[in-house]
Amino acid sequence: MANHKSALKRIRSNESKRLRNKYQFKTTRNAIKKLKEAGKEEAVKLLPTVIAMIDKLAKNNIIHNNKAANTKSKLTKYVAAL
């Protein structure tokens, strides 16, 4: 167990950040699934929103920049092929 006040605070803040990151990542994954299930017109409308969500995850270091780029590329190709 932590012995310092700062270590206790770090434990609390890490837990809240972990929950926030988990929520944002799960929300983005659900949006990606919704995009893949959507029709052509709806997918075209959803794509900019999903790309913005992925960019935000990468900016906040929740996912790696290269993973974000690969995911955006795959989704863009998927929507273009519909």
State the 10-residue block means of pLDDT for the chain, 82 residues long: 87 96 96 93 94 96 96 95 89
Phi and psi angles of residue 60, each rounded to the nearest 5 degrees, phi first: -90, 10
- Among 29, 46, 54, 30, smallest CA distance to 82 is for 46
Compute the residue count for the chain: 82
What domains appear along the chain, each with residue ranges and CATH number? 5-81 (1.20.58.110)
> Residue 2's pLDDT is what?
75
The pLDDT assigned to 70 comes to: 97
Q: Tell me the longest C-alpha to C-alpha distance in the chain.
A: 57
pTM: 0.85
CA distance 81 to 39: 12
Q: 38 CB contacts (<8 Å, ≥6 apart)?
A: 46
Tokens of 27: 């929300």
